[in-house]
Amino acid sequence: MIKNTVIIGGFLMANLMSAQIGISRESVSNGSVSLQFGDTENKGLLLPYVTDKTGITENGTVLFDTSDNKVKYLKDTNTWFDLSVDTTGTADLSIQASDRAEQPGAKVSISTTIAGATNTIKGILVLADDNKAMVLPKVVSPHLNIIEPSAGMLVYDTVKKQLAVYNGKVWTFWKP
């Protein structure tokens, strides 16, 4: 009985480790999605608050930089791109209090690649597939409908059809 439980648990864990994941939804929209959020809630993706980004070298990293209260992504090694633009940002760092400190080595990797292939990438959430992407939470007019946004929040505005970034004071909208 215990052996069967362990075997079934192992299969379930293996399936979850390489699965496409939907959060607040039953499934993802298509095979090109590794992580997708539900569309019906006025919630966003909250980025990690980072006090010192000097050791971060993984291109494509997105974070909330508490040194200047801006959402940024690492474009090229040592070249950070500012997504907030506005300089009045602020953050309540208590939501990242010391009693909630990151556990060394803690992270989640979503990929259909071989298990352990992303161990060298430093990140909390690593989407490691090279042929799938994350779909941000979709919100109708987030500046009107997310009542209490947190600094470092990221969503897709379905009305403006733009990336929306919140720096703790104002929303910034990006359109290619």
98-146 residue pLDDT tens: 555 555 555 566 665 545 554 566 666 777 777 778 888 999 999 999 9
- The domain segmentation of the chain, as residue ranges, is 2-174
As a whole number of angstroms, the distance between CA 21 and CA 10 comes to 18
For the record, the structure tokens of 1 come out as 């009985």
- Reported confidence tier of residue 167, pLDDT bands at 50, 70, 90: very high
pTM of the prediction?
Answer: 0.71
Q: Measure the CA–CA gap between 71 and 8, rounded to whole angstroms.
A: 42
Residue 58 has pLDDT above 60, yes or no: yes
Q: Which of 15-19, 58-62, 126-130 has the highest mean pLDDT?
A: 58-62
Checking if the pLDDT of 57 tops 50, the result is yes
Of all helices (H) and strands (E), which one includes residue 165? Answer: strand 162-166
Q: What is the pLDDT of residues 68-88, one digit of tens each?
A: 999 999 998 789 999 998 888
Question: Cβ distance 80 to 65 under 8 Å?
Answer: yes
Give the integer Cα–Cα distance in Å for 50 and 55: 11
Tokens of 98: 């010391």
Residue 140 CB: number of other CB atoms within 10 A?
14
